């Protein structure tokens, strides 16, 4: 019978990240959330496309990996990011995580906006995030809520979003098999 030795990180098996972002609503801008252009009289002000949802997701992912934040990676003083799609920025973050051997386990995010109603667009937002990060759709959850006309989101001055994620690493989940002439019990694998 083979021996199985688990190789896990000394202190943790998972890493959790949290992200938060806010953008002001203004005229003459498109409203883009989760990579979806949403019909509305106002859009979000920002250096990029100001996709507050994706910005919160990226900050959660970068935070969980201890890789800083989106301001560090995509400064608003750099003209190459002016008007850029946040889906492209999210793809870059996904590549950074892959280079560091992180696996995204799941993402859960909430958009806080009084208007417009976002329910019709949620599934497309989830699919955009999943596709960009090469995840299964059931690893991404997006919710929307209002603040019942309270605060800056309730007064329709801006939209905010928060996100949490869980990462693991290839190393934290790896299993080394020792003395495995017959393979692991019940495994039809490597023999």
| Domains of the chain by residue range | 15-170
Confidence of residue 3 (pLDDT cuts 50, 70, 90): very low
Residue 176 pLDDT exceeds 80:
no
Residue 119 pLDDT exceeds 90:
yes
159 assigned binding-site residue? no
φ, ψ dihedrals at 56, nearest 5°: -65, -40
47 assigned binding-site residue? yes
User: CA dist 92 to 50, 131, 191, Å?
Assistant: 16, 13, 39
pLDDT at 13: 54
55 assigned binding-site residue? yes
Measured at the CA of 67, the angle between CA 61 and CA 70, to 5 degrees, comes to 65
Kindly state the DSSP code that residue 22 receives in the 8-state scheme. Answer: E
Q: How many helices (H) and strands (E) does the chain have?
A: 5, 9
Share of the chain above pLDDT 90, in %: 75
78 assigned binding-site residue? yes
Confidence of residue 75 (pLDDT cuts 50, 70, 90): confident
155 assigned binding-site residue? yes
Confidence of residue 89 (pLDDT cuts 50, 70, 90): very high
75 assigned binding-site residue? yes
77 assigned binding-site residue? yes
Dihedral sign from CA coordinates of 19, 106, 14, 173 = negative
- From 3.40.50.2030, 3.40.50.2300, 3.40.640.10, 3.30.1330.50, which CATH number describes the 15-170 domain? 3.30.1330.50
Cβ partners under 8 Å of residue 171, min gap 6? 7, 9, 101
23 assigned binding-site residue? yes
Dihedral sign from CA coordinates of 94, 54, 65, 102 = negative
């Amino acid at each position: 019978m083979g021996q199985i030795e688990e190789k896990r990180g000394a202190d943790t098996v998972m890493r959790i990240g949290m992200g938060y972002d806010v953008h002001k609503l203004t005229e003459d801008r498109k409203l883009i959330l989760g990579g979806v252009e949403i019909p509305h009289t106002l859009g979000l002000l920002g250096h990029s496309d100001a996709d507050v949802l994706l910005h919160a997701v990226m900050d959660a992912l970068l935070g969980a990996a201890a890789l800083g934040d989106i301001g560090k990676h995509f400064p608003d003083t750099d003209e190459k990011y002016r008007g850029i799609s946040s889906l492209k920025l999210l793809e870059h973050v996904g590549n950074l995580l892959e280079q560091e051997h992180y696996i995204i386990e799941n993402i859960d995010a909430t958009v806080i906006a009084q208007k417009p109603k976002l329910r019709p667009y949620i599934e497309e937002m989830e699919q955009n995030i999943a596709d960009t990060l090469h995840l299964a759709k059931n690893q991404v959850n997006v919710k929307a809520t209002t603040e019942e006309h309270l605060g800056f989101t309730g007064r329709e001055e801006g939209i905010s979003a928060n996100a949490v994620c869980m990462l693991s690493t290839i190393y934290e989940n790896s299993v080394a098999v020792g003395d495995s002439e017959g393979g692991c019990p019940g495994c039809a694998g490597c023999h």
